[in-house]
A = this chain, B = another copy of it.
Amino acid sequence: MAAETAYGDLDVYLARRKALVEEALDRFLSPETGVPERIMDAARYSLFAGGKRLRPILCLAAAEVVSGAWSDALPCACALEMIHTYSLIHDDLPAMDDDDYRRGRPTNHIVFGEGLAILAGDALLTEAFHLLARRDLMPGVVPEDRLEVIRLVARAAGMAGMVGGQVMDLQGEGQDLELPTLTDMHRRKTGALLVVSVVAGAVIAGASDGQKEILAGYGEKIGLAFQIADDILNVTGDRVMMGKSTGSDAVRGKQTFPALLGLEASRTKLADLVDGAAADARRLGERCEPLVQIAKYIMERNS
């Protein structure tokens, strides 16, 4: 299969970028005098729980496709991962999805208790904005663009974006959501942060409005593709790959794309979205290959 070579290259790329991001996360959120040890432990427990670092990698790739350089995007990439991690910690709480395991490890509140888990999420969200505003980082980015990044990230993470999507998810459990509502829910809950990952990277790299728009379209498509792939995996995958039970959405009464569209139509929609995202990326010029490959990777992890 032709994609295998590219997939192999992508594996190396992803592994290198992941290492880069994790080294930076370790620097940006490290034990310090005056911070209670227990909250730092709780925040780091989930921050270093073995995620794919998709959002930071997208942020760096978007900066690189625009300007060829990614280093000024690294703090923003890490801030996005902190926000993603906070959302996972809060989503896993008993009052939300009530998950005891994530990526095969006990969730934050199982290890640290609910109170500390809530606070660890709060802390990660707050530290993300602190990171975006630090004076000693992003030397090549003008203050106006840094403010724009903060504005976009806050908008994507807030009640019009990720938090709003989680509310819709919470309210939708056990209800038969229709396709437009399901799509809208995922566009907010997962999509908004993926979109802002590429758009913020682009802003940091000094992108034109046209480039930002193309990247937003790319982000929208892979965001939805990511969710459809996740839903398909939930039906067909195995426990080891997901670190949680197969079929758990059905048990929980959560609406999914395969349930609404059928498995084959879901796979077709996924492929169309990935093709569209790859086409978007190719419009950005010669450094587009990582973004093209990441779009394909979202589908292939599901094959």
Identical chains in the assembly: 2
Q: Which of A29-37, A268-276, A285-293 participates in binding chain B? A: A29-37
Q: Does A20 lie at the interface of the complex (its beta carbon under 8 Å from any beta carbon of B)?
A: no
Q: Which residues of B contact A116 (CB under 8 A)?
A: 167, 170
Given A90-B118, A115-B170, A160-B34, check contact A129 B154 (CB 8 Å): yes
Q: Which residues of B contact A96 (CB under 8 A)?
A: 115, 118
Q: Is the CB of B115 within 8 A of A95?
A: yes
Q: Which residues of B contact A155 (CB under 8 A)?
A: 130
Given A143-B146, A147-B143, check contact A118 B118 (CB 8 Å): yes
Main secondary structure of the interface of A (DSSP, over half): helix
Q: Which of A8-16, A65-73, A120-128 participates in binding chain B? A: A120-128
Name the one of B43, B90, B159 contacting A36, with C-beta atoms under 8 angstroms. Answer: B159
Q: Is the CB of A113 within 8 A of B133?
A: no
Q: Is the CB of B170 within 8 A of A154?
A: no
Q: Does A177 lie at the interface of the complex (its beta carbon under 8 Å from any beta carbon of B)?
A: no
Task: Report the separation of the CA atoms of residues A114 and B23 in the bound assembly, to the nearest whole angstrom.
Answer: 35
Q: Within the complex, what minimum Cβ distance (angstroms) separates A97 from chain B?
A: 9
Q: Which residues of B contact A86 (CB under 8 A)?
A: 122
A/B interface sample: 12 pairs, CB < 8 A: A36-B164, A38-B171, A39-B167, A94-B114, A95-B114, A96-B118, A123-B164, A125-B125, A130-B151, A134-B151, A142-B143, A143-B147
With A39-B167, A130-B154, A130-B155 given, can you name 15 additional A-B contacts, CB distance below 8 Å?
Answer: A34-B160, A36-B171, A38-B167, A90-B118, A90-B122, A93-B114, A94-B114, A95-B117, A96-B115, A119-B163, A123-B163, A123-B164, A132-B150, A133-B147, A150-B150
